[in-house]
Amino acid sequence: MQVVTGKSVLNGIAVGKIKVYKAPKFEISEKTVDDAQVEMELGRFEAARLAAIDQQNELHDRAVESAGEESAEIFSVHAMLLDDEDLVDAVNEIISEEKHTAEYAVKTAFDNQAKVFAEMEDAYFRARSADIIDIENAVLGVLLGMDLGSKQGGEPAILVADDLAPSETVRLDKSLLLGMITKEGSLNSHTAILARSMNLPALVQCQEISDDWDGHEVIIDGYNACAYIDPNDDLRKNLLARKIEDDKQRALLQELKGRTNTTIDGTKINVYANIGGPSDIEAVKLNDAGGVGLFRSEFVYLNSSTAPTEEQQFAAYKEAVEALAPKLVIIRTCDIGADKQVDYMNLDREENPALGYRAIRICLTRRDFFKTQLRALLRAAAYGNLAIMFPMIISAAELNECRKILDICRNDLISEGKKVGDVQVGIMVETPAAVFCADELAENCDFFSIGTNDLTQYICAIDRQNAKLEPFADTHHPAVLRAIRMTVEAGHRHGIWVGICGELGADLSLTESFLRMGIDELSVNPTSVLPLRKKIRSIDLSKPQEQ
């Protein structure tokens, strides 16, 4: 028996045979072509590029179905990268000037671009290197006539790979997938996101994987972040018993549908869901969430090659609020920037994008852009229960300006004879500045929603996208918990409700602490709704908290 370790994506047990997944290898010739063939090679590249764009759009649609809108956004980014003028020009120049084949030109130009990204200091841009390689493989696959479909085999198995690109992950037959182990990747990689969305145990950063494992039995122990290759009988028996118990607990969770989120002593709390777009609405219903605490409107922008119009946005928001009415749907205004970029906005690359030109800072300096979204939101509010949430607010002056623009949009729509609805207005509390100014901010909004991901990053001065800093990251840091408590107290002093929409909302080890702080709402991934409900119903706030 061999024991290997990694980082666990999901608590749970997976048992099965190993299928070693190997990425395709491309044989690229360095031969040159004569002048008469140059035009033909240019044409081949252009045809392959367009075909690859079509592939990315198809993968986007498949990803929406399997993992939701947020996970699918990467394929919209891929399609836009394939339209990048600098990248296209670099390929054409190698073909025209150096007279190489389309395959050689694509590999050379794309590899060069990937290298540039890989050497950048910022974690977000380093991650773009893998995206360039992924779309390079898509174009080469078309040029060489290779089928890049899944190579996972025809039997249920646990997949082992050096890494899985987003396109490879989406092509997997989910009905045959028992679990995953990868050598590379992070807890926020596409592989990890898919595993969590499907409730599949998985390990990433498992450095000891081997091609020799193919066909051998493995047990993934997500609780202890390890895997056992060819486990002995006693271990197999114990872990299978744990898996059976896990399956029973998941079945019991289904019995909580329709129950209230009420503690033993009678304290009620709202449990909402975080979603990436209208395609996630079914998951909200399936998991019996009380509403949507965070609707990430970025999908509208990331899934478009040009700035989305008011009508396009209105249709998307209307679909969500109408489908979930009368449940509350809180829509965060555009949070583009930092780790989410779109070419048509022409945002400069920044040394420190997490502290840069992003979210509300873009909206307040591009008023027409902001008004387009606000008008769409106000119109959609007439069809359901909609709230608007502004991200990255750091001062009362910013909030006041947002509200003034919102009022202008409302008045304009009414004067145009358009139907508008009433909305609650809230802000994301995700910076130390917002925490320290919470009393002033609470005077002019209806609710706070604490974004614990960014709040932790800014309080602890730790880049949440930098895998090297994971050993230093402490999501339970006393300063973070103190900031949450301060925010709740300030909100309640001014009679507004306070929720959490970051990752900590689903951390069951903190649920009781949050309830004792007075948190009114927790918004989590849809699959975390029922486990959170179970936890809430087991808490008795009338008794002292166990240490």
User: What is the pTM (predicted TM-score) of this model?
Assistant: 0.69
Q: Note whether residue 287 is domain-resident.
A: yes
Mean pLDDT of 282-288: 89
Residue 126: pLDDT band (50, 70, 90) is confident
Model pLDDT for residues 300-333, shown as the tens digit of each residue: 887 777 888 999 999 999 999 999 999 999 999 9
187 neighbors 518 (Cβ within 8 angstroms): no
In a domain, 249, yes or no: no
What pLDDT score was predicted for residue 339?
55
Mind giving me the DSSP string for 109-140? Answer: HHHHHHHHHHT-SSHHHHHHHHHHHHHHHHHH
Question: 3-class DSSP state for residue 423?
Answer: coil
**Does 232 share its domain with 359?**
no
Check residue 506 and give its pLDDT.
92
Looking at residues 491-502, what average pLDDT do you find? 96
Assess if residue 30 is contained within a domain: no
- 416 belongs to a structural domain: yes
Q: Is 56 inside a domain boundary?
A: yes
pLDDT bracket for residue 196 (50, 70, 90):
confident
pLDDT for position 496: 97
Q: How many domains does the chain have?
A: 3
**328-332 and 292-296 beta bridge pairing:** parallel
Binding residues for phosphoenolpyruvate: 296, 332, 453-454, 464
Same domain membership, residue 196 and residue 93: no
Residue ending a domain, among 112, 143, 174, is 143
pLDDT at position 121 is: 67
Whether the pLDDT of residue 110 is over 80: the answer is yes
What local confidence, expressed as pLDDT, does residue 345 receive? 75
Task: Sort 263 into a burial class: Cβ within 10 Å, 0-12 / 13-18 / 19+.
Answer: buried
54 located within any domain: yes
Give the closest residue to 480 by CA, choosing from 447, 451, 509, 519: 451
For residues 157 and 186, membership in a common domain is answered with yes
Report which residue type is found at 264: I
Mean pLDDT of 21-34: 84
Give me the CATH number covering residue 390: 3.20.20.60
Is 487 inside any structural domain? yes
pLDDT tens, position by position, 511-544: 999 999 999 999 998 888 999 999 999 999 988 8
Residue with the larger pLDDT of the pair 398 and 249: 398
Whether the pLDDT of residue 216 is over 80: the answer is yes
Residues 17 and 105 in one domain: no
Across all residues in the chain, what is the average pLDDT?
89
Residue 409: is its pLDDT beyond 80?
yes
Q: What is the pLDDT of residue 122?
A: 62
User: Residue 151: its pLDDT value, please?
Assistant: 66
Structure-token pair, residue 183 = 């050598």
Q: What is the pLDDT of residues 156-170, one digit of tens each?
A: 999 999 888 777 877
Q: Three-state DSSP class for 263? A: coil
Question: What is the model's pLDDT at position 128?
Answer: 76
For 129-254, strand residue ranges (E) read 157-161, 177-182, 202-204, 217-221, 226-229
Task: List the catalytic residues.
Answer: 190, 501
**Which whole number is the average pLDDT over 47-76?**
84
- Return the number of other C-beta atoms located less than 10 Å from residue 433's C-beta: 16
Q: Which of 119, 143, 167 is the last residue in one of the domains?
A: 143
Domain residues for 51? 35-143
Same domain, 296 and 378: yes
User: Above 80 in pLDDT, residue 491?
Assistant: yes
Tell whether 62 and 197 lie within a shared domain: no
Instruction: Give the E-state strand segments of 248-390 in sequence order.
Output: 270-275, 292-296, 328-332, 385-390
**Residue 169 vs residue 290, higher pLDDT:** 290
Cβ atoms 253, 527 nearer than 8 A? no
Per the domain annotation, does 543 fall within a domain?
Answer: no
* Same domain as 520, residue 410: yes
pLDDT score for 356: 78
pLDDT greater at residue 126 or residue 366: 366
Residues 306 and 344 in one domain: yes
pLDDT band for position 382 (cuts 50, 70, 90): very high
Same-domain status, 215 and 305: no
Quote the pLDDT of residue 289.
Answer: 94
Other C-beta atoms lying within 10 Å of the C-beta of residue 181: 28
Residue 92: band (very low, low, confident or very high) from pLDDT cuts 50, 70, 90: very high
| Cα–Cα dist 438/445, whole Å | 11
The single-letter code of the amino acid at 336 is: I
Q: What is the per-residue pLDDT for 123?
A: 62
Give the end of a domain, one of 116, 143, 170. 143
If asked whether residues 320 and 337 sit together in one domain, one would say yes
CATH number of the domain encompassing residue 183: 3.50.30.10
Binding residues for Mg(2+): 430, 454
Instruction: Taking residues 429-456, report their average pLDDT.
Output: 95
Let me know whether 266 and 374 are in one domain: yes
How high is the pLDDT of residue 547? 67
CATH code, 73: 1.10.274.10
* Average pLDDT over every residue of 402-406: 97
> For residue 14, is pLDDT > 80?
yes
User: Span 75-104, mean pLDDT?
Assistant: 91
The angle subtended at Cα 216 by Cα 211 and Cα 219, nearest 5°, is 105
Whether residue 278 is found in the same domain as residue 297 = yes
